[in-house]
Amino acid sequence: MGPRRIAVLGAALVAPAAGCFADLGGFSNAPGDSGADGNAAVGDAGSSDAATPDDATSSPDTSADSGGNGDFTDDFARADGPDVGNGWIMKYAPAFHLSGGAVQRLFPDSSHDFDDNIVYRPSSEKVLDVEVVATLRIASAPAGYPQLHARVQDSVTTPSQLDSYLVFANASTTEIALARQHGGSSGYVILGTFAVAPALDTSSVYRLHLRVSGTTSVTLAGSVERLVSGAWQSIGSGTATDSAATRITTPGTVGFSGGRPESNGIYTYDDFTRKAL
C-alpha cells in the first residue's frame, strides 16, 4: 500500500472542524486502469467456502461487550502476546500483537499487504450500516497506512483477497482517504479524501472513525479526533458516495489492518468500537 495520486471517484466533502459522527467513549502494487467505476476483477466476494489461510489465528470470543444488537467494544486490556484474543481473527498473525494493553503493528516482512494483514471480527457479527472507531497512536510521522475496515466480505478468508470499505492515513500526516477495496492489494479505489489539521504527530492520541451506510448508493464518512486536555476535538472529517456497480451492498464484519512499507511499532490501536446504525 503506497500513496496513489488517482482521480477521486465520488464526492468528498471536507469539513476539518466538524464534530465527530457519534459520541463513542505501501498500499503497494498500485493498480492499473480499473475502469470508470473503479471495478477490480475479483471472484465471488460473497462466497464463504474459501479456505482459511494456514497462518490465520482466532480465539474464543469471551467479551461481555458484544451484544446481539451489533455493538461491540474492546479495550485490549489483556496480557501481552502474539494473539490479539477476544474472538479476533488474525489473517496473518505476525502482522500485529498485544503490547501494553493495545494492538501494536509489526512488520515481519514486505510480502504481506493490508489485504492479508487485516485483523477482523467473526462473520457471525456481520452488520450492514455501521460505525467503526479506534484510538490511534503513531510512533513516527508519517506513520504509514493505519486503517479501519467495514463491510468486510467473506472473501477475507482467501489469501491476498479482501472486499471492504476503509478509511486510512495515506502515508501522510495531513491527508486521510476513504476507499472501496476489491480483490488484492492493488484493488482499492479512493472515493474521497479529507485534510487533517493540525498534522498528526507522535505525542498525541487520536481517534479514527469510519461510518458506512446505504445500499442504493453507499455513503462513507470518516473523521479524526485528537485528545486535548481530556476532551476529543475534531481535526478533520469528510464524506464520499459510492454509486458504482461494484459498490458493496451486503452486510460484512469490521476490523483494522496495516499496509506496506511500514516498520515494527510504527503505530498502535486501542479502544475499538463497532456501533450498528
Q: What is the mean pLDDT of residues 220-231?
A: 98
pLDDT band of 18, cuts 50, 70, 90: very low
Q: Look at residue 147 and tell me whether its pLDDT is greater than 90.
A: yes
Q: Quote the percentage of the chain above a pLDDT of 70.
A: 75
Q: Look at residue 55 and tell me whether its pLDDT is greater than 60.
A: no
Q: Which three cell numbers stand for residue 22?
A: 457519534
Q: What is the mean pLDDT of residues 175-198?
A: 98
pTM above 0.85, yes or no: no
- Candidate from 10-14, 46-50, 75-79, 105-109 with smallest mean pLDDT: 46-50
Quote the DSSP letter at residue 16: T
Nearest CA-CA partner of 159 in 113, 127, 220: 113
- Report yes or no: 146 and 152 within 8 Å, Cβ to Cβ: no
pLDDT band of 34, cuts 50, 70, 90: very low
In the chain, where the domains are located: 13-31+70-276
Q: What is the mean pLDDT of residues 158-171?
A: 97
Q: Look at residue 192 and tell me whether its pLDDT is greater than 60.
A: yes
13-31+70-276 folds as: Jelly Rolls (2.60.120)
Q: Look at residue 195 and tell me whether its pLDDT is greater than 70.
A: yes
Looking at residue 52, its pLDDT comes to 37
Q: What is the mean pLDDT of residues 134-143?
A: 97
Looking at residue 63, its pLDDT comes to 42
Q: Are strands 175-181 and 96-99 parallel, antiparallel or unpaired?
A: unpaired
Q: Look at residue 24 and tell me whether its pLDDT is greater than 60.
A: no
Measured at the CA of 56, the angle between CA 47 and CA 124, to 5 degrees, comes to 50
**If residue 179 lies in a helix (H) or strand (E), which one and from where to where?**
strand 175-181
Grid cell 471536507 is found at 14
**If residue 255 lies in a helix (H) or strand (E), which one and from where to where?**
strand 253-257
Looking at residue 43, its pLDDT comes to 31
Looking at residue 8, its pLDDT comes to 44
- Report yes or no: 177 and 237 within 8 Å, Cβ to Cβ: no
